[in-house]
Structure 1
Amino acid sequence: MSTGRRPTLADATRGRILFGGDYNPEQWPEETWPEDARLMREAGVTAVTVGVFSWAKLEPEPGAREFGWLDRLMDLLHEHGVGVVLATPTSSPPPWLGRLHPDSLPVTEDGRTEWWGGRQHFSHSSAAYRGHAAAITEALAARYAGHPALTMWHINNEYCTADFGDEAAARFRRWLRAKYGALDALNTAWGTAFWSQGYDSWDGILPPRTPHYLKNPAQVLDFRRFTSDMLLECYTAERDIVARHTPHIPVTTNFMPLFPGQDAWRWAEEEDVVSVDLYPDPRDPLGPQHGALVQDLTRSQARGPWMLMEQAAGPVNWRGVNHPKPRGLNRLWSFQAVARGADAVCYFQWRQSRQGAEKFHSGMLGHAGERGRTFQEVKRLGAELAAIGPAVTGSPLHADIAILHDWHAWWASAQEGRPSAHVDHPAVLHAWHRALWEAGFATDFAHPAHDLGRYRLVVVPQLYALTDAAVGNLLAFVRAGGTLVCGFLTGVADEDDRIRPGGMDPRLRELFGIRVLHEWWPLEPGETVVCDGFLGTLWSEELEAEPDAVEARYGGGELDGFPAVLRRDRAWYVSTLPEPDALRALTARIAAGAGVRPVLAGLPDRVEAVRRGELLFLLNHRREPVTVDVPGTHTDLLTGDKITDRVFLDRYGVMVLRS
């Protein structure tokens, strides 16, 4: 019976941390399934995702329905106390769909068809694809709506496909008509007076296919928006089908981390559960910071607890060299996700494949079997998550700092003809988040139009394109007493990628005390500029500013004596990217001035402290043990030990402390 509200992750977890992974039993003889169920129970698995890549098994030919195997599997898992996150299999259509409906296959910008034989080979705009996807989703929902194992719905998988084909072109024109209404409005928004691109007919408009030279950046920007919207239409169509049959069961689809193809703020509003796939490189010294950024962003999109849908228990198979995770690292990164708001910790996949493109991608149960190190570590993790689940699930994480991020600003900044191809939006975002992470601050992410009133400090690493409303929101935040710090290339353009007067929104220039922005001075890779007390990288600017606004100046070179860092009361502007140590010191200084304190002061390098609810998570990202001062008396929920004032963390060690 419907409760009159959409379900949440709490309806699936029921006071425990959901633990499991993708399960692909169709790859194995059915005699293997009982062993899988036994080992899942032994490992503390509470739910597995089933059916992600099963369309050809469920519908081997058009209209056929082969559900017997799935009936037996669902019953078996339920008998062993394992819930099922049932996936719609629509991310990988069977070969017969592409053979019978070639228009269902995506087309690249240079006119090349992407054929079956891999995955994600579908056109989001194809009526044939959408019709068959809806039909198999309807059949699944009708059959398993009442099954007691059903825990959650997982729609499709890692939506990512762009399409430049004819059917997509027709939908693109309809999308543009709905947005602009009249061709004159479109021509104005796209600046088609440049290069004689003015359109006299809607039929003349195409996706931004491969041109002779540079593409129209406003057309590309709208096509990115269109692609995100078309994929979202595919998701919501399937979501609405399963929600109609099971209004009490939460629905999700899995984001990829900081993926450029979806406006994930908008997508998150359409999900009951926000989930993400996360694969930091175990050899990357900044791997845990990358994980923390993705976790903070996902938690902020979810506005609370979220789901780690996929991670690797060991190596992946798609890097040039695929390194395994050292002992303890899988456990550490799993607890990092829980510390930063995850109430579900899952993997791709349960049993490592013996055939196919991902047979070298690890599984919870690897090729070494149940005696292998990976499975033994998974068992330990399952037991520990079960132990702390009641104390942590549903609890919030409080942050006084918000980092602003917007996909539309990212898309606009990524155009071909920009001042520097080396200025990469995600890299700049990572640099600012890293500075705050290393300084020990808790951070949320927010959209520039969100209500920012509950934060003391708002950080804008880079938002090239801002709407008038977003600029007004930043000004209102500062007027209300908040502290704002913006990096370079912020507020340069409006939502149509039209450069603002003076090269930056005049209201922002006034806020920061900028009289004239004379020139952008991008730097070559490895090139630096000297500033008062630090080195800047990647970018610099020739600014003329109010004398009382200058906090630091450039020294030497063409910009000698020009302002580098500006400050007017609670508004800061940084016209370069300080080197990591300098950026960490600057952000710590600004945070302290805003009244923000680290979660735990005096932490050793590469030790992370996160407070979630009443629990303090300590995470040692070092390969050697470390001692950490933690004033007071605490209980480690993982061991039951009482601890006073100081704790010892083993290499890749974890503690979950309750005071």
Structure 2
Amino acid sequence: MTRQHAPISPKLPGLMHGADYNPDQWLHDPAVLEEDVRLMKLAGCNVMAVGIFSWASLEPNEGQFTFEWMDQLLDRLHANGIFAWLATPSGARPAWMSQKYPEVLRVESNRVRNLHGMRHNHCYTSPVYREKTSLINRKLAERYGNHPAVVGWHISNEFGGDCHCDYCQVAFRDWLKAKYGSLDALNRAWWTAFWAHTYTSWDQIESPAPHGETMVHGLNLDWRRFVTSQTIDFCRHEIDSVRSVNPSLPATANMHMIEGLDYRKFSEVLDVISWDSYPTWHDYKDDSQLAASVAFYHDLFRSLKQKPFMLMESTPSLTNWQPVSKLKRPGMHQLSSLQAVAHGSDSVQYFQWRKSRGSSEKFHGAVIDHAGHENTRVFQDVAHLGQTLNHISEIVGTATPAETAILFDWDNRWALKDSQGPRNMGIKYEETVYAHHRALWKQGIATDIIGSEDSFDGYRLIVAPMLYLCREETGSKLQQFVEQGGTLVSTYWSGIVNESDLCHLGGFPGPLRKTLGIWAEEIEGLYDDDRNGLKMLNDNVLGLSGTYEAHEICELIHTEGAEVLGVYTDDFYVGRPALTLNRLGHGRAYYIATRLKEDFLSDFYATVTAEAGVNRALQTKLPQGVSATVRTNGTTDYVFLMNFSGEPQQVELDERNYTDMETGDSVSSTIGLPVNGVRLLKRQSTYSES
């Protein structure tokens, strides 16, 4: 893989540091805008995202454009060495548009059109909305596409949601016609003979509705795919409308862990991936479990294009919309920000630069509080991070060398949670994926989060938890991966349905049956207080012993060539296989038939990764709650040691020579990390350029 990528923008070769900036809220007070620039420089900020919700300020009435304030803003930023991501303003439309063209407003699944208000309350299919966004975007591009301050396009803001208007119903039917070709093919794929739901005309098909159809799972799945497709088409429409003036400017669209859109598909139209991270730090004294789940999403967004991403939004202090708005404890701002950099971000940016004086986010964290000056704890935290980012700018463009991957498909996620299967009180798909990722994270093992359509080349280990929706092609790819020497780990509730959400016939896990060497006959959901156990057999190849607690899900399987490593301890299936290994070609495939806890996953992956030859950031055992992550350019490794444990920790380094990334000083073999502490180290690379 490539170990060094070009900077996101050649105008700004260092790490990006900045915030969402809304000067249009302060046009009545020019002194505030002048003070902002002074404070940006003092905080070590070098880039701002501007114009995100500025449509009413740019076009206060239809056809009346007021760009003068934006002219002054961009000129002021440029004169002070500060750059800008210039946003298209489609995230929220002006009131005049909603009043004159009500068709731009969304229709909810109950078929009621929304009133004006909120954000993303618009229809991506509406011809009027597309015309209006294209017009304002073209004018922005013509005026600022070659402005020296502009480093790229920030397309809209946190795409999400769906519309069920007549335009969208027609577009959905057209999408289905292109996919299936005939109603007969659609009816077979959706299994509409069930409950006599067979369609005899395309016009009979409606999107899912609370007062209509929700039980045809193929329909539900295709609607979600269509919403992603239509949203991406609108995103592409926006990019096309700004790109003609200066094709070299990169385009990004900030994402926010929204389940309803398949973000992997966005990588096809975006030049840079960016996302918005808002963890609820300090729910518990030990932040490590939350830190691991945040690391999962950093890994996911990095993996979308297999190159550095951007942390486009985070809070420098607190939010105002979480159940509890807790302040970041001392050190957490530096720690959480550098965690993003460690996992592949080439930026740390915030919502927001200056707190709004009114409306819903007036108490959301910001670099500049209502006090209006730099003499605050939060500002000093931001300025300290700015200094650090400046010192470690050589890390820009470096890669995260992952030899392990977790398979995480959005349509599998959708189908699995719609399946009405063994635990309708909560199948816990995401929690399961996080648990497997966390077991790797605790060992300092870099992990990509990939889709079934991605290449499996270069990985030693692929983990596929709950691969419920498994295409024949995916099964073939995983079989080939194992035969060629890879290690696969799969779990219960895998290989159940195909891409149309139709059950595989002939025995589960369908396309994975040969690879895993098992047949899954039944699956049982357990009540919350039910327990079973996994007893490891004597002399098993993993070298594990004793019993591990099983809970929530137990699958009854038969071996078809696989070796039994552990068995159930209780109930009528006591003694039946619960953990197996199948040797196929040059590789190995493990199957975990029951839901197990952190102790098992830690022990299991410690052995499996060593067996597979997977590299770790450090060749020593990490203390509880400490993570180690590596970025590399193929010559130098950059090692991030981060303490999320809530207690001071001592980290033993391995025998390689390390220096401090910021000072260049040699580092001793033992490093102390305070609470929320982070240490940045360098060493000669253990990864060759390829």
Task: Assess if the C-alpha contact under 8 Å between 1:214 and 1:417 holds in 2.
Answer: no
Is the alpha carbon distance of 1:13 and 1:315 closer, same or farther for their aligned partners in structure 2, counting shifts above 3 Å?
farther
For 2:133 and 2:616, the matched residues in 1 are separated by 48
Task: Assess if the C-alpha contact under 8 Å between 1:126 and 1:167 holds in 2.
Answer: yes
CA shift, 1:150, in A, is: 0.7
Task: Assess if the C-alpha contact under 8 Å between 1:485 and 1:572 holds in 2.
Answer: yes
Partner of 2:40: 40
Partner of 2:308: 305
Q: Counterpart of 2:126 in structure 1: which amino acid?
A: S
For 2:647 and 2:435, the matched residues in 1 are separated by 25
Q: Counterpart of 1:35 in structure 2: which amino acid?
A: E
Q: Counterpart of 1:610 in structure 2: which amino acid?
A: T
RMSD: 1.6
List aligned pairs for 1:579-618, cutoff 5 A: 579-600=597-618, 601-613=620-632, 614-618=637-641
CA shift, 1:237, in A, is: 0.6
For 2:590 and 2:646, the matched residues in 1 are separated by 37
Residue 397 (structure 1) aligned to one of 379, 400, 423? 400
Mapped pair 1:652 → 2:676: yes
CA shift, 1:592, in A, is: 1.5
Q: Counterpart of 1:656 in structure 2: which amino acid?
A: L
Residue 325 (structure 1) aligned to one of 312, 324, 328? 328
Secondary structure of residue in 1 paired with 2:8: helix
For 2:392 and 2:524, the matched residues in 1 are separated by 52
Mapped pair 1:412 → 2:430: no
Partner of 2:518: 514
Is the alpha carbon distance of 1:212 and 1:179 closer, same or farther for their aligned partners in structure 2, counting shifts above 3 Å?
closer
Is the alpha carbon distance of 1:8 and 1:158 closer, same or farther for their aligned partners in structure 2, counting shifts above 3 Å?
farther
Secondary structure of residue in 2 paired with 1:10: coil
Secondary structure of residue in 2 paired with 1:11: coil
**More off after superposition, 306-315 vs 9-18:** 9-18
CA shift, 1:212, in A, is: 5.8
CA shift, 1:548, in A, is: 5.2
Task: Assess if the C-alpha contact under 8 Å between 2:443 and 2:621 holds in 1.
Answer: no
Q: Counterpart of 1:374 in structure 2: which amino acid?
A: V
Partner of 1:17: 15
Mapped pair 1:453 → 2:453: no
Is the alpha carbon distance of 1:158 and 1:280 closer, same or farther for their aligned partners in structure 2, counting shifts above 3 Å?
same
Secondary structure of residue in 2 paired with 1:27: helix
Task: Assess if the C-alpha contact under 8 Å between 2:432 and 2:465 holds in 1.
Answer: yes
Is the alpha carbon distance of 1:68 and 1:21 closer, same or farther for their aligned partners in structure 2, counting shifts above 3 Å?
same
Task: Assess if the C-alpha contact under 8 Å between 2:495 and 2:511 holds in 1.
Answer: no
For 2:617 and 2:664, the matched residues in 1 are separated by 23
List aligned pairs for 1:357-506, cutoff 5 A: 357-368=360-371, 369-389=373-393, 391-415=394-418, 417-421=420-424, 422-506=426-510
CA shift, 1:14, in A, is: 3.8
1 or 2, which has the higher helix percentage? Answer: 1
For 1:632 and 1:205, the matched residues in 2 are separated by 64
Partner of 2:319: 316
Cα deviation, 1:138-195, whole Å, max 9, x if unaligned, reads 1111111121111111000110021122221111111111111111111111111111
Secondary structure of residue in 1 paired with 2:668: strand
For 1:483 and 1:386, the matched residues in 2 are separated by 40
Secondary structure of residue in 2 paired with 1:323: coil
CA shift, 1:11, in A, is: 2.3
Query: What TM-score comes out, normalization by structure 2 length?
Result: 0.92
Task: Assess if the C-alpha contact under 8 Å between 1:523 and 1:538 holds in 2.
Answer: yes
Task: Assess if the C-alpha contact under 8 Å between 2:267 and 2:273 holds in 1.
Answer: yes
Residue 565 (structure 1) aligned to one of 555, 575, 579? 579
For 1:179 and 1:529, the matched residues in 2 are separated by 45
Secondary structure of residue in 2 paired with 1:138: helix
Query: What TM-score comes out, normalization by structure 1 length?
Result: 0.96
For 1:149 and 1:401, the matched residues in 2 are separated by 39
For 2:102 and 2:419, the matched residues in 1 are separated by 32
Q: Counterpart of 1:634 in structure 2: which amino acid?
A: Y
Task: Assess if the C-alpha contact under 8 Å between 1:467 and 1:495 holds in 2.
Answer: yes
Partner of 1:295: 298
Secondary structure of residue in 2 paired with 1:73: helix
For 1:47 and 1:213, the matched residues in 2 are separated by 47
Task: Assess if the C-alpha contact under 8 Å between 1:313 and 1:330 holds in 2.
Answer: yes
Task: Assess if the C-alpha contact under 8 Å between 1:27 and 1:353 holds in 2.
Answer: yes
Task: Assess if the C-alpha contact under 8 Å between 2:310 and 2:346 holds in 1.
Answer: yes
For 1:558 and 1:63, the matched residues in 2 are separated by 74
For 1:44 and 1:12, the matched residues in 2 are separated by 19
CA shift, 1:340, in A, is: 0.9
Task: Assess if the C-alpha contact under 8 Å between 2:316 and 2:366 holds in 1.
Answer: yes
Task: Assess if the C-alpha contact under 8 Å between 1:13 and 1:343 holds in 2.
Answer: no
For 2:663 and 2:142, the matched residues in 1 are separated by 45
For 1:116 and 1:628, the matched residues in 2 are separated by 55
Is the alpha carbon distance of 1:35 and 1:213 closer, same or farther for their aligned partners in structure 2, counting shifts above 3 Å?
same
Q: Counterpart of 2:465 in structure 1: which amino acid?
A: P
For 1:538 and 1:545, the matched residues in 2 are separated by 22
Secondary structure of residue in 2 paired with 1:237: helix
Secondary structure of residue in 2 paired with 1:187: helix
List aligned pairs for 1:149-188, cutoff 5 A: 149-188=149-188
For 1:305 and 1:125, the matched residues in 2 are separated by 32
Task: Assess if the C-alpha contact under 8 Å between 1:103 and 1:167 holds in 2.
Answer: no
For 2:61 and 2:441, the matched residues in 1 are separated by 52
Partner of 2:595: 577
Mapped pair 1:635 → 2:656: no
Q: Counterpart of 1:404 in structure 2: which amino acid?
A: L
Mapped pair 1:118 → 2:118: yes
Secondary structure of residue in 2 paired with 1:174: helix
**More off after superposition, 172-181 vs 43-52:** 172-181
For 2:99 and 2:428, the matched residues in 1 are separated by 40
Is the alpha carbon distance of 1:72 and 1:13 closer, same or farther for their aligned partners in structure 2, counting shifts above 3 Å?
closer
Partner of 2:89: 89
CA shift, 1:13, in A, is: 6.3
**More off after superposition, 80-89 vs 124-133:** 124-133
Task: Assess if the C-alpha contact under 8 Å between 1:459 and 1:485 holds in 2.
Answer: yes
Amino-acid identity (%): 37
Partner of 2:686: none
Aligned residues between the structures? 650
For 1:435 and 1:112, the matched residues in 2 are separated by 46
For 1:97 and 1:414, the matched residues in 2 are separated by 38
For 2:352 and 2:167, the matched residues in 1 are separated by 35
Secondary structure of residue in 1 paired with 2:669: strand
Partner of 2:570: 556
Q: Counterpart of 2:648 in structure 1: which amino acid?
A: P
Is the alpha carbon distance of 1:290 and 1:251 closer, same or farther for their aligned partners in structure 2, counting shifts above 3 Å?
same
Q: Counterpart of 1:575 in structure 2: which amino acid?
A: A
Task: Assess if the C-alpha contact under 8 Å between 2:518 and 2:561 holds in 1.
Answer: no
Q: Counterpart of 1:44 in structure 2: which amino acid?
A: G
Partner of 2:52: 52
For 1:651 and 1:117, the matched residues in 2 are separated by 43
